[in-house]
Amino acid sequence: MASIEDAVRKGKLKVKSINDFTSENVEIEIKCPAGVDAEKMVDALYAFTNCEASITSRIVVIKDNRPVELTVSEVLRENTEQLVAVLKRELELREKKLLDELHYRTLERIFIEERIYKKIEQCKTNEAVTAAVYEGFKPFKQN
């Protein structure tokens, strides 16, 4: 608001009236005098006031154990690549867990359907139990 009023005082902008309706959001109403093109007024506002501000950034990050200055695009690219790698590792862990569960359930199903537990009940020693389990699963073993 102050920069607009300053530009009007210096004669860089021709304005009929300025109203400030700013509350939660900035809202400034500028009425143009007769004969002034609104598009030219907007261009003049950007040129002679603080309605447009450029912000430059210097983003310094540690990359390969060295400080490096990156652009915003490069930072986004690096972070995206890192996120994709993390998500890929999480999916690989999830896949391993699901495969382990599938193998467990498959062994359990074979154990029950083939009634391997019946052969175990007849065994007297630990070695005999182990042999009965191996013998019961032998037809399902993949080479």
Which segments of the chain does DSSP mark as H helices, in order?
2-9, 38-48, 72-113, 116-121, 126-137
- And the tokens for 2? 């102050």
Q: What is the pLDDT, as a whole number, of residue 93? A: 97
Determine what percent of the chain is predicted with pLDDT higher than 70: 99
> What is the per-residue pLDDT across 86-103, written as a single tens digit (0 to 9) for each?
999 999 999 999 999 998
pLDDT of residue 29: 85
Contacts of 36 (CB under 8 A, 6+ apart): 14
Relative to beta strand 59-63, strand 66-70 is antiparallel
Q: What are phi and psi of 119, to 5 degrees?
A: -70, -35
Question: Which residue, 81, 143, 74, 140, is CA-closest to 111?
Answer: 140
Give me the pLDDT at residue 100, please. Answer: 94
**Bridge partners, 30 (sequence order):** 18
pLDDT per residue over 106-128, tens digit each?
888 888 887 887 888 888 899 98
Q: 143 falls in which pLDDT band (50, 70, 90)?
A: low
- pLDDT recorded at residue 140: 77
pLDDT in tens, 18-54: 888 888 888 888 888 888 888 888 888 888 888 877 7
How high is the pLDDT of residue 82?
95
Question: Can you give the pLDDT at residue 31?
Answer: 86
Kindly report the pTM of this predicted structure: 0.48
What is the rounded CA–CA span in Å between residue 92 and residue 81?
A: 16
Q: How confident is the model over 71-83, as a mean pLDDT?
A: 93
